[in-house]
Chains A and B, each alone.
Chain A
Amino acid sequence: MPIIELEEITRIYRTSAVAVEALKGIDLEVKERDFLAIMGPSGSGKSTLMNILGCLDKPTSGSYRLDEEDVSKFSRNRLARTRNQALGFVFQSFHLLPRTTALENVELPLLYREEGLSWKEIHRRAREALESVGLGDRLDHTPNQLSGGQKQRVAVARALVTRPRVLLADEPTGNLDTRTSLEIMDIVQRLNDDGLTILMVTHESEVARFAERVVTLRDGLIESDERTESLSARRELERWLAQAESKADQRTRKSAELKEVPEAEEVAI
């Protein structure tokens, strides 16, 4: 049973002068537990597609079925509810509220929940979500006290706290270095292993290798749709760490050698 079904989705941006056809007819089926990477050069329509998939935007024509409901006919408020209940978002630039603790950032989606949860339940779920991304000891830290990787992990926790059906990640590693990128991808892969459907937009093929299926867009149409053997982020991370360690070893050896020289001179005197 596909969790997402797109049929003939088009999206046309109209300004007074011109009409830009960003999507020209997209058909896409995503099964539950899929890990899909959406690739394409800039201007290919991948952001537009992501907005529609994320219920932030409505298609000009075509139908979008999310969990067997035709989302393309939903009102603004109904879309807001769908975003809150069925979807989790992770953005390139984290989008954490400044001056607000990690815990409160993660609680945010629960505050807008349709059925009211008790404050106790809200706190409990947020804490659990942060613990699941390894930030159980950073609950009271504000974004400016966190590293980039930690911020993105808070954002992942915020996306997970509502127990969504689909996680939408828009260039999740775009602002991160190699090591933290691998850490984030490791978390995402583990979530996928636990049964979460994942849609990830990226323009880096490096990152797309961690997905099980890669959809490439070009000029508003799907150019290719391939299943691939996914790379394990964990293994990549271990390899990277081992390399880094040997490099660090070399460096300490070098500095140790350098240190020996003045010592030798001391002896000479």
Chain B
Amino acid sequence: MKWSAVPYVAVRALTKNTMRTVLTALGIIIGVGAVITMVGLGQGAAAEVEEQVNRLGQNVVLVFPGERQLGGVSIGGGSANTLTVEDALALQEEIPEVVAASPEVRSQRVIVHGNRNWHTRVYGQSADYLQIRQWPLESGEMFTHEHVGRAALVAVVGQTIVEELFEGADPIGQTIRVRGLPLEVIGVLSRKGMSLMGSVQDDIVIIPYTTGFQRVSGRTHAMVINVQVYNQESMGIARAKMEDLLRERHRLAPDQPNDFTIQTQEEVAQAATETSRVMTWLLASIAGISLFVGGIGIMNVMLVSVTERTREVGLRLAVGARGPDVLLQFLIEAVILCVLGGIGGIVFGILSTEVIARYAGWPALFSVEAMIVAVSVSAAVGLFFGFYPAWKASRLDPIVALRRE
């Protein structure tokens, strides 16, 4: 027999009944579309997390006060008062691998300019902070060590502050007030976007930590020490040295646990990507269920169509089709349905990802692998769920099938 005959017959059978074909494929379209959307959004989120970890700065090590459980990602914290400004200075001076260390003190404050006010976070940092975070200025300049030394009333502000407080006007040289304290704006930060925790990083005012401790927050201890290490390779050594130095400075006996926690950038990244990976899997498995349901839909329609097409099958058998020919025809029909559904699903998935990404502000990433997997899975679904109806059709008795009204 002609090899192309049965595929031809299958294609014709599908094109003769466009409505049924489209409706059957719809389940698969939605299933594959959901898989692609979910995986796309999940991977987009993962990429975003990675990007943000990089934005954390270069070769950054964070020292938190108190002992924190491993794997805790919270960059907030500050649960204990164990880190001092002197600790930060010691880290920078006594460990050669440490390039810079900035003791951080945060407070939520209302800032005022003219008749406008804005609730924001005020960070006390050292003059090296922007270098640690790899955060360039858009205009003006960063405060210097000299500013820090004399607890100068100067501030560097983020983009959100420029928009909300200055309505987009150039704030350099202007004065903002925090609890009545006048701060001169000397620099504007470039835009940074969302943080790992989803907060807007541009909603920020940075002042010398001395000013922060003494005039704004009322705290005495650092909430985090941001440390920059010379390079990637010396990260391990630096970490060990930092631990030793801090234990010594805190006079901890060998059997006492650390009263601080050191986390490298990589550890933060690992914890964060782990979370987003779990999220991606979760989304993908939910989408997988809908693909499965789509497959059952195919089986359902194929079963109904075998019954509906009993006479057709009877006729084919009467004019010389063998059981295997009919089996193959129905299988091919099912697989074509699924592959068409898969392709439709890719289009649908890309569109819906775009829409969600645009309106929900989620990052999205299209992965070719996910598309290939989704389409091959749907073809497999077609084979699997198409087999039973096809087998049923091929087992029909031509006499009975022809007599059926």
Residues of B close to A51: CB separation below 8 A: 399
Contact B399 A83 (CB under 8 A): no
Query: Known: A56-B398, A97-B315. Is A80-B1 also a contact (CB below 8 A)?
Result: no
Residues of A close to B314: CB separation below 8 A: 95
Complex-state Cα separation, A89 to B402, whole angstroms:
11
**B-side interface residues, number (CB < 8 Å):** 28
Residues of A close to B311: CB separation below 8 A: 95
Query: Known: A56-B399, A83-B318. Is A111-B16 also a contact (CB below 8 A)?
Result: no
> B325 at interface (Cβ–Cβ under 8 A)?
yes
> B322 at interface (Cβ–Cβ under 8 A)?
yes
- Which of B6, B8, B320, B405 has the largest count of A CB atoms less than 10 A from its CB? B320
Complex-state Cα separation, A54 to B315, whole angstroms:
13
> A240 at interface (Cβ–Cβ under 8 A)?
no
Chain A residue at smallest Cβ distance from B319: A109
Residues of A close to B325: CB separation below 8 A: 112
> When each residue 301-339 of chain B gets 1 if its CB lies under 8 Å from chain A and 0 otherwise, what string results?
000000000011011111111111100000000000000
> B12 at interface (Cβ–Cβ under 8 A)?
yes
Chain A residue at smallest Cβ distance from B403: A47
Contact A99 B17 (CB under 8 A): yes
> A262 at interface (Cβ–Cβ under 8 A)?
no
Contact A114 B1 (CB under 8 A): yes
Select one of B1, B9, B323 contacting A113, CB under 8 A.
Answer: B1
> A84 at interface (Cβ–Cβ under 8 A)?
yes
> A181 at interface (Cβ–Cβ under 8 A)?
no
Chain A residue at smallest Cβ distance from B8: A111
> A104 at interface (Cβ–Cβ under 8 A)?
yes
Contact A77 B323 (CB under 8 A): yes
Count how many pairs of residues, one from A and one from B, have CB atoms less than 8 Å apart in the complex.
75
Residues of B close to A57: CB separation below 8 A: 399
**A-side interface residues, number (CB < 8 Å):** 30
> When each residue 75-92 of chain A gets 1 if its CB lies under 8 Å from chain B and 0 otherwise, what string results?
011001101110001010
Chain A residues near B (Cβ < 8 Å): 51, 54, 56-57, 76-77, 80-81, 83-85, 89, 91, 93, 95, 97-100, 104, 108-109, 111-114, 116-117, 158, 162
Contact B322 A76 (CB under 8 A): yes
Residues of B close to A117: CB separation below 8 A: 2
Complex-state Cα separation, A113 to B4, whole angstroms:
12
Residues of B close to A111: CB separation below 8 A: 1-2, 5-6, 8-9
Select one of B1, B3, B318, B405 contacting A56, CB under 8 A.
Answer: B318
Residues of A close to B318: CB separation below 8 A: 54, 56, 83, 89, 95
Contact B321 A99 (CB under 8 A): no
Residues of B close to A91: CB separation below 8 A: 402
Chain B 220-258 residues near chain A, CB threshold 8 A: none
